Amino acid sequence: MPPLFLPVLVGWCAIWSVFAGVGFLYGLRCTRGPESRRWWTGFWSMNIFWIAVDLAIVVWALLDPITEVEEFRKVLAINGGLDVAYLVTGVILATRRDPLPRGFGAAILAQGGFLLVLDAGWWLALAG
């Protein structure tokens, strides 16, 4: 596993943890009306879920590190396919009428987009 892979993922989690904590509290207290409150609550609660998923990936990578480059590239390719599925799901949710799933969708698009860039970037970097 490349030495910078985990620090990048941990840094992403740390930054989003701060934003998600503050944002979730804002969502609960949003004075722009119940629809806006539901959107923000959905957005930040889904981000909190994805932070947990990303941290689980970090723990898994620390406990059972992949040492073979080609094996890691295979994992990244599978993850890239999953990332595309996340983005499709995010688009579907973001186009719903109810603001809660729209917030979920926006969060999935942000997190899934980051993971796609991370996975594709490392996959390409390890090609040679």
DSSP string, 23-63: HHHHHHH--S-HHHHHHHHHHHHHHHHHHHHHHHHHHHHHH
| 13: CB partners within 8 A, 6+ apart | 51, 54, 55, 58
Q: What's the predicted TM-score (pTM) here?
A: 0.88
Per-residue pLDDT of the chain (128 residues; tens, 9 = 90+): 667 888 989 999 999 999 988 888 887 788 888 899 899 999 999 999 999 999 998 898 889 888 899 999 999 999 999 999 999 999 999 999 999 999 999 999 999 999 999 999 999 988 87
The Cα–Cα gap between 48 and 73 comes to 27
The answer to whether the CB of 106 falls within 8 A of the CB of 94 is yes
